[in-house]
Amino acid sequence: MKQNCTERGRRIVECGMDIAAGSAICRGDKNYMGNAYMSLPIAITVEGANIMTRSFQIIGQGLTRCHPHMSDLLKALQLPPSEEKHGVKIFVKQFHKIVGHGITNFFGSVSRGVGATFSSATRSKTAYKNGDELLAYHEKQLLRLAANFALTADLCFTLGGRLKFEELLMGRLADALGAIYLGYATLHHYDRRRGIEGLEALTEHAMLRLEREAQEALYAASENFPGPLGPVASTVMKMGCFPLGGLTRPYSDPSDTLTKEVSRLLTTPSEIRDMFQEGIYSAPDGAVHQMTDLINALPICVEADKVATSLRREKREPTAEETNLIAKADALRDALIQVDVFEHATAEEAQPGYVRPALQGTEERFANLDKTVFREAA
């Protein structure tokens, strides 16, 4: 979760930097993005750098620890020679369980894949507006993806110790696992906060993207399965995860219509915005705080935009109240786009003839420079 959340957080902050543009790189109290951007590398690198977590730890260490029978099999191999007969019995028993577990996962992946594909093909694009149907549908899709992942994890054991050197494969499987996990977290959040207007559209948008990510990560893994048994494992994986070929890859990115609906909910006063603002610090009245000022200015600016649109459409003069509203919105916009201005960083820099330390002695160095070499080169 740390790797997934910090990587997605990095992309969110980078998008915020794009929106804030130049004001996001001008240091000062008015810059509400700069500190978040500069602190991101801390989250990315501490407690195990994300590049190592994704390409090694999640799958390389988690695969044997999370398998229901592999741990007992490994313990049997570590028994002392005096318990060899007992160890062999345990090994054979656990090996049979592992094979049976793999066969069960294969057929479970096939059956759930076909069933989930059928439900995707027959689903209306507006079905998400019914909360119960939204939950039931996406739970079914996550069960299918979890079954696909379980089969893929079993096939990874064919690589033996080489698995820990296959960073590309482990990275793709980590992406798939992360998307599935976040999908369940998203549905849990929706179930807890049901009743918020617009939450269905937001949940649908998030789930479609996560399901698409998991599907494509698993498909890329099936296309590039490494090792001597790679072609065999790749074929088994495709048969188990995508038994009908492209038909069993039903997930696609959200439609433009749904994306625009989510965008509207996030950029206008709504219950969705109120939900996201719950964890944001709000300064008391009268205090200068850029984020609080932005939040407070949004309803006024949105209402002023509606009035301006109405005036253009109806080709009429504004009323006194509308004039005041537009003027207030313009004043707020002008104040919010300003950046911090510093006359001089120190008193020393304000003195006449001040030269930055990096430039001191530049004139002397140029005067003593042998210009013959430069003339010959020219």
Over residues 48-86, the pLDDT tens digits come to 788 888 888 888 888 888 888 888 888 888 888 888 888
Radius of gyration of the chain (CA): 30
Mean pLDDT score of the chain, rounded to an integer?
89
Task: Output the six-digit token pair for 119.
Answer: 């439900």
The gap between the terminal CA atoms of the chain, to the nearest Å, is 59
Q: What is the tens place of the pLDDT at every residue in 141-175? A: 999 999 999 999 999 988 988 888 999 999 999 99
Residue 47 annotated as catalytic: yes
Distance between CA atoms of 253 and 211, rounded to whole angstroms?
9
Distance between CA atoms of 79 and 70, rounded to whole angstroms?
15
- Residue 348 clears pLDDT 80, i.e. is over it: no
Question: 185 or 29: whose pLDDT is higher?
Answer: 185
Distance between CA atoms of 153 and 151, rounded to whole angstroms?
5
Of 138, 108, 141, 120, nearest to 240 (Cα)? 108
What pTM was estimated for this model as a whole? Answer: 0.84
257 in Cβ contact with 201 (< 8 Å): no
Active-site pick, 14, 47, 83, 349: 47
| Residue appearing with tokens 């976040």 | 182
Q: How far is CA 284 from CA 28, 218, 291, in A?
A: 20, 49, 12
155 in Cβ contact with 232 (< 8 Å): no
- Residue 378 clears pLDDT 60, i.e. is over it: no
